[in-house]
Amino acid sequence: MSSVSLDNNNCLLIQIDNVSKFSLHTQWLRERLSESDYIDSNNKQRLYEPSLLNENLKIIKYSLDGNSLHISFSDGANGTLLLQNLLSEINKTDIIPLKTPWKNNFTNLPIYDHEKLSNQKNLMQMLENFQQLGFVIISNISKEEGTVINFAESLGPVRTTNFGKHFDVVSKPNPNDLAYTSLGLTAHTDNPYRKPIPGIQILHCIANEAEGGDSCLVDGFAIAEHLRETDKEAFEILTQTDVLFKFTDKDILLENYGKLIELDDFGNYMQSRFSGRLDFVTYLEPKKLEKFYSARRKIFNLYASKEFEINFRLESGMLMMFDNLRILHGRTEYDPNTGFRHLQGCYIDHDSTEGKLRLLKSIEANK
Which positions lie near Fe ion, rule CB under 5 A? 190
Tell me the residue number closest to Fe ion, measured at CB.
Answer: 190
Nearest approach in angstroms of CB 215 to Fe ion is 11
Is 180 or 257 the residue whose CB approaches Fe ion more closely?
180
Nearest approach in angstroms of CB 276 to Fe ion is 12
Nearest approach in angstroms of CB 104 to Fe ion is 20
Is 131 or 190 the residue whose CB approaches Fe ion more closely?
190
Nearest approach in angstroms of CB 179 to Fe ion is 5
Nearest approach in angstroms of CB 331 to Fe ion is 8
User: Cβ distance 157 to 352 under 8 Å?
Assistant: yes
**Amino acid letter, residue 169:** V
Is 149 or 289 the residue whose CB approaches Fe ion more closely?
149
Nearest approach in angstroms of CB 80 to Fe ion is 52
Phi, psi (rounded to 5 degrees) for 348: -135, 170
Is 138 or 216 the residue whose CB approaches Fe ion more closely?
216
What's the chain look like in SS3? Answer: CEEEEECCCCCEEEEECCCEEEEECHHHHHCCCCCCCCECCCCCCECCCHHHCCCCCCEEEEEEECCEEEEEECCCCEEEEEHHHHHHHHCCCCCCCCCCCCCCCCCCCCEEEHHHHHCHHHHHHHHHHHHHHCEEEEECCCCCCCHHHHHHHHHCCEECECCECCEEECCCCCCCCHHHCCCCEEEECCCCCCCCCCCEEEEEEEEECCEECCEEEEEHHHHHHHHHHHCHHHHHHHHHCCEEEEEECCCCEEEEEECCEEECCCCCEEEECCCCCCEEECCCCHHHHHHHHHHHHHHHHHHCCCCCCEEECCCCCEEEEEECCCEEEEECCEEHHHCCEEEEEEEECHHHHHHHHHHHHHHHHCC
Is 183 or 281 the residue whose CB approaches Fe ion more closely?
183
Nearest approach in angstroms of CB 19 to Fe ion is 49
Is 79 or 213 the residue whose CB approaches Fe ion more closely?
213
Is 32 or 188 the residue whose CB approaches Fe ion more closely?
188
Is 190 or 323 the residue whose CB approaches Fe ion more closely?
190
Nearest approach in angstroms of CB 163 to Fe ion is 11
User: Cβ distance 109 to 311 under 8 Å?
Assistant: no
User: Which has the closest alpha carbon to 215: 308, 133, 313?
Assistant: 313
Is 190 or 279 the residue whose CB approaches Fe ion more closely?
190
In angstroms, rounded to a whole number, what is the distance separating the alpha carbons of residues 240 and 267?
11
Nearest approach in angstroms of CB 348 to Fe ion is 15
